[in-house]
Structure 1
């Protein structure tokens, strides 16, 4: 389903008062509301990674999954698969975190989200200077860690970590290590 979003202070404002169906991921890309069901592989990776991140963060930041984040354009409203919020970050007047509060974003690719995750989100997250953007691809069994955003839509470096090796996120003043040996590759689930 796709609907054009009118210019609003936050892309998410167009959804105020709308009852959205359960089990669907809702994001806004280039002014269009996009609703897709979450895939099983995505869910399995998130369920494996989220507790590892939360344990290591303790009180030094916050981990969120599929929670609305306000970006500087009313054409984009993303709710990352996993987002790491910087320690001390505060919510805005709408009760949401903003892009500059993000230390890292992790997106788990599905067939329906490949273009968004590898191109559109990559570009927006780099423009917003999000320090770390990780794309986890169950199809290929690879985690790609993008670091050092240029602010003009790309990252200076990328490192590929195959499933089975530890995924290390070098956050400000601390590292988060995510074991990937239990991440399912496409075709592994029955």
Structure 2
């Protein structure tokens, strides 16, 4: 389902008061509201990664999953699979975190989200200066860590980590390590 979004201070403003169906991921890309069911692979990866990250963050940051983030465009409203908020990150007047409070974003790719995760989100997250963008791809069994965002919408460095090896998230003044050996690859679930 997609609906055109009118120009608003936050892309999410158009959904104020809308009762959204449970079990669907809602994001706004290029002014269109996109609702997709979350896939089993995505959910299982998030379920395995989030507690590992949360435990290591302790009081030095916060982890969010599928939570609305305000970006500097009324055409884009993303709710990353996982987002790490920097220590001291503050909510805006809408009660949401903004892009500049994020230290890292992790997206788990599904067949329906490949274009968004590998192109549109990659470009927007880099333009916004999000320091670390990780794409986890259950189909290929790999995590791609992007670092060094540029204002032209790309990242200077990309490192591929196959499932089974530890995924290291280089955050400001610390690192988070995520064991990937329990991440399901496409075809593993029966």
Please tell me whether residue 57 in structure 1 is matched to residue 73 in structure 2.
Answer: no
Structure 2 CA distance for aligned equivalents of residues 60 and 74 of structure 1? 30
Distance in 2, Cα, partners of 1:85 & 1:189: 31
Q: What's 1:189 paired with?
A: 189
Q: Give the match's secondary structure for 2:164.
A: coil
Distance 2:151 2:172 in 1: 18
Deviations 1:116-161 (A, max 9, x none): 0000000000000000000000000000000000111000010000
- Distance (Å, rounded) in 2 between the aligned partners of 1:100 and 1:166: 27
Residues 94-109 of structure 1 mapped to structure 2, 5 A cutoff: 94-109=94-109
Alignment partner, residue 27 of structure 1: 27
Q: Which runs of 5+ in 1 are unaligned?
A: none
| CA RMSD, Structure 1 to Structure 2 (Å) | 0.3
Pairwise mapping of residues 167-182 of structure 1 onto structure 2 (< 5 A)?
167-182=167-182
Q: What TM-score does the superposition give when structure 1 sets the normalisation length? A: 1.00
Residue 111 of structure 2: SS of its match in structure 1? Answer: coil
Cα distance in 2, alignment partners of residues 110 and 13 from structure 1: 27
Q: Could you list the runs of 4 or more consecutive aligned residues of structure 1 that deviate by over 2 angstroms after TM superposition?
A: none
Residue of structure 1 in register with 2:17 after alignment:
17
Equivalent residue runs for 1:1-190 within 5 Å: 1-190=1-190
Give distance in 1, aligned partners of 2:46 and 2:176: 15
TM-score, normalising length: structure 2 = 1.00
Count of residues paired in the alignment: 190
2: distance between equivalents of 1:41 and 1:183? 8
Structure 2 residues not aligned, in runs of 5+:
none
Match of 1:136, SS state, is: strand
CA distance in 2, matches of 1:130, 1:49: 19
